[in-house]
Amino acid sequence: MQNYRSRAQLKQDAKDTLRGNWGKGILLYLITMLFGLFSGSIQFALNFNPYDFNHYNGAAGRSFIISTLIGLVFILITVSANYKALDWIRNPQLQFQPVQSNFDRFRNPDWWKILGMYIIMAVLTWLWSLLLLIPGIIKSFAYSQTYYIYKDLSDKGQADGYSLMDFITRSRKLMDGHKADYFVLQLSFIGWFILGSITLGIGFIWIIPYYNLTMANFYRDLAENNPQLV
C-alpha cells in the first residue's frame, strides 16, 4: 500500500536533518551558490567591451560557448551536491565532507552520463516548449527525477543495462500523478525565495540547503512507494 508523505512532512524531514547541522548543509551547497552567483558576472565580463563595436559581432557565439561550458560544470557540481543530500536525508547521521562532496561526479568515470541526460532533457524540454510554454514546464517536471533514478540504479549496480533515455522514461513514469504535487511543493518556497531576494541574497545561504533537501526527500518518498521503477 502506497503511503506518501504530506508536503508538510517532506519539509519537516528536511528541517529535522538540518537541525544542528546547518553549517554542513550550507557548506554542501556553498560552491553551487557561489558558482551560480559569479557565472553571470564572468560571462558579462568576457563579452562586454563598450569601446569596441566590432566586438559584438562574435559576442553571441562566444557567449553561447561560455554559457554551455559553465552550465555543464554547474550541473555536475549541483548533481554531486544533490546526490549527497539524498544520502543525507535517508541517513541523518551520515558523516561526510560537504565541500568535497560537490566534486563526487567529477571523480566518477560515468560523469559523462550526467551531462548526456542533461543535454537530452534540455533538448526534449525545448522541443515541447515550441508547442507552448506550459507543455515544456510539464515535461520538465516529468523529467525532474532522472538524476536521482540514475543514482539509485547505479548504486545497485543496475545502471549499465539502461540507456540514458531509459532513466528519463522512468522519471516520467515515476512522476505520473505527482507533477501537481511537485509544482505545489516548489510553489511553497516562493515566500522563502522572496525573502532571500530582499535580503540581497544572504537568506539563500539557508534557503538553498533547505529547498534541496526537501526536493531530495520528495524523490525518496516517490522511490519508496514505487520500488518497481527504482
> What does the pLDDT look like over 12-32, one tens digit per residue?
999 999 999 999 999 999 999
Cβ(7)–Cβ(185) below 8 Å: yes
Task: Enter the C-alpha cell of residue 45.
Answer: 565580463
Q: Which DSSP category does 6 fall into?
A: P
* Res 58: pLDDT: 54
pLDDT of 50-64, one tens digit each?
454 455 455 555 666
* Res 39: pLDDT: 65
Q: How many domains does the chain have?
A: 1
In a domain, 230, yes or no: no
In a domain, 1, yes or no: no
In a domain, 2, yes or no: no
132: helix, coil or strand?
coil
In a domain, 48, yes or no: yes
In a domain, 73, yes or no: yes
Rounded Cα distance, 208 and 28, in Å: 10
In a domain, 125, yes or no: yes
User: Is the pLDDT score of 1 beyond 50?
Assistant: yes
In a domain, 191, yes or no: yes
- Rounded to whole angstroms, what are the CA distances from 96 to 93, 102, 105, 115, 205? 10, 11, 15, 25, 19
Residue 70's domain comprises: 7-225
* Res 53: pLDDT: 47
- Whole-structure pTM value: 0.89
In a domain, 180, yes or no: yes
- Other Cβ atoms less than 10 A from the Cβ of 89: the count is 25
Question: In sequence order, which ranges of the chain are alpha helices (DSSP H)?
Answer: 7-18, 22-47, 59-90, 111-131, 133-142, 146-155, 164-174, 179-187, 190-198, 204-225
Residues 6+ apart with CB under 8 A from 81: 28, 29, 31, 32, 101, 102, 212
